[in-house]
């Protein structure tokens, strides 16, 4: 009886390890959620500006922006944007933001 219980425990460890890993789909969903949160935070600051949030890779968010003045203003508010998004996600998902023109 003891042996059967050990085998069940091993199987549960294997299954939990398999399903606790982030697969590609769940990672893509997480990235989409982060990008949406960033859009919301930036739209609160600049509701009328055309800002295109492009990608998130290695905790670096890439934003295409129309002018350097707007980029300078966003740089000043960058720590606040990053902290709000990370707080909403419950973990550090963004470490820095790169601005492209």
11 falls within a domain: no
pLDDT at site 32:
93
pLDDT per position in the chain (101 positions), as tens? 455 555 556 666 666 666 555 677 788 889 999 999 999 999 998 898 888 999 999 999 999 998 899 999 999 999 999 999 999 999 999 999 999 98
2 falls within a domain: no
pLDDT at site 93:
96
Tokens of 61: 């968010």
Which bin fits 96, alpha (ψ -120 to 50), beta or left (φ > 0)?
A: beta
pLDDT at site 49:
87
Q: How does strand 51-57 pair with strand 60-65?
A: antiparallel
pLDDT at site 9:
60
- Reduce the DSSP state of residue 61 to 3 states and report it: strand
Q: How many domains does the chain have?
A: 1
pTM of the model: 0.74
pLDDT at site 101:
86
Task: Report the CATH number at residue 48.
Answer: 3.30.300.180
**Cα→Cα distances 46→12, 62, 73, 74, Å:** 49, 17, 10, 9
Residue 29 burial (CB count, 10 A): 11
pLDDT at site 40:
93
Range of the domain at 91: 22-100
**Which contacts (CB < 8 Å, 24+ apart) does range 14-21 have?**
none
CA angle 66, 72, 73 (to 5 degrees): 95
């Amino acid at each position: 009886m003891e042996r059967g219980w050990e085998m069940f425990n091993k199987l549960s460890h294997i299954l939990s390890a398999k399903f606790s890993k982030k697969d590609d789909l769940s990672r893509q969903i997480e990235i989409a959620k982060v990008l949406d949160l960033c859009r919301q935070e930036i739209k609160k600051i600049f509701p009328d500006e055309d800002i295109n949030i492009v990608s998130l890779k290695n905790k670096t968010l890439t934003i295409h922006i129309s002018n350097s003045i707007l980029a300078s203003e966003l740089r000043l508010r960058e720590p606040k944007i990053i902290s709000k998004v990370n707080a909403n996600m419950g973990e550090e998902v963004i470490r820095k933001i790169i601005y492209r023109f």
